[in-house]
Amino acid sequence: MALLCFQSLRMLRSGIRCMSQNAQLVSLTVNDKTGVATLSLQRPPVNSLNLELLTEISSALTEATDNNSRGLILTSTNDGVFSAGLDILEMYKPNLDRVKEFWTKLQETWIKLYQTAYPTVAVINGHSPAGGCLLALSCEHRIMVKNFTIGLNETRLGIVAPPWFIASMVNVIGQRQSERALTLGHMFTTEEAKNVGLIDEIVQNKAEGTTQAEAFIQKFAKIPFQARSLTKTWLRNKTVESLVKNREDDLNMFLQVVTQPNAQESLGHYIQSLKNKATK
């Protein structure tokens, strides 16, 4: 409690205000001087995206809009893992009602993040496989700390990246590079990611990443907000519409693929291999 008060006091002095008071799995703060919001994922141990975390991310994105944020930095409180992607336990031997809600929330969160009116920057301060990579790809600018990995590795797990995951990557690195990376399930090192254009900047640490992210958002200070946001909407509309118009089909396809016995078997082996690794 004392620590909380001390932290709040320190944040107030530096002009940082806490939003989303009820959130537990994310923290949303805003810098009152710049209007830039920071959304930090904080679901230990690895920010895997389960229904509850997705719900909080989605609410925080709305809150940043309602608060007229000038920009948003997406990052992790865990220096080591940005996000481990979708929580595999949501997809393994799933409860039908819950897994439907989970996938629907994932769709909603991606649509919101992909279309925010404000500029978005991912400060990728750790590994970022699969769904973690999708979050980063949905931002407008990606800054990554050295010595980590990022990519859409679904095929390695025996599952398939849905069309909108694929489109998010194609829009950033193009068809040829995406085809090679996705079919192999390749995880790029920070250096490789920069070379292929998957990320825009390499930094030494999160603090440097945050400074660079603020500088990126600051570039838009003199660009009329609505002109910028409408341009972004039109640039991204085709990609988003392909999911918006087919959400039900996408959900059914996901359910069909993920409940296949061979997909369940692959997920089971994968969970076990992660557990074995963790106990070594």
54 vs 64, which CB is nearer to ligand LDFHACXW? 54
Out of 86, 113, 137, 267, the active site residue is: 86
* Chain residue at closest Cβ approach to ligand LDFHACXW: 85
64 vs 267, which CB is nearer to ligand LDFHACXW? 267
55 vs 153, which CB is nearer to ligand LDFHACXW? 153
Is 132 one of the annotated active-site residues of the chain? no
Out of 131, 132, 185, 209, the active site residue is: 131
- Minimum CB separation of residue 184 from ligand LDFHACXW in Å reads 14
- Minimum CB separation of residue 118 from ligand LDFHACXW in Å reads 25
In whole angstroms, give the CA distance from residue 39 to residue 220: 19
Q: In the beta sheet, which residues pair with residue 202? A: 144
- Minimum CB separation of residue 278 from ligand LDFHACXW in Å reads 4
Q: For residue 235, with 0-12 CB atoms within 10 Å meaning exposed, 13-18 middle and 19 or more buried, which class applies?
A: exposed
129 vs 209, which CB is nearer to ligand LDFHACXW? 129
Question: In terms of residues, how long is the chain?
Answer: 280
168 vs 177, which CB is nearer to ligand LDFHACXW? 168
Record the tokens describing residue 127, joined without a space: 């590994």
In whole angstroms, give the CA distance from residue 28 to residue 71: 12
37 vs 133, which CB is nearer to ligand LDFHACXW? 133
- Minimum CB separation of residue 222 from ligand LDFHACXW in Å reads 38
Q: Which residues bind ligand LDFHACXW (CB under 6 A)?
A: 45-46, 48, 80-81, 84-89, 127, 129-131, 153-154, 157, 159-160, 162, 250, 253-254, 257-258, 274-275, 277-278
Is 147 one of the annotated active-site residues of the chain? no
- Minimum CB separation of residue 136 from ligand LDFHACXW in Å reads 12
- Start-to-end CA span in the chain (Å): 36
- Minimum CB separation of residue 227 from ligand LDFHACXW in Å reads 34
Is 140 one of the annotated active-site residues of the chain? no
Is 153 one of the annotated active-site residues of the chain? yes
In whole angstroms, give the CA distance from residue 5 to residue 48: 29
Catalytic residue IDs: 86, 131, 153-154
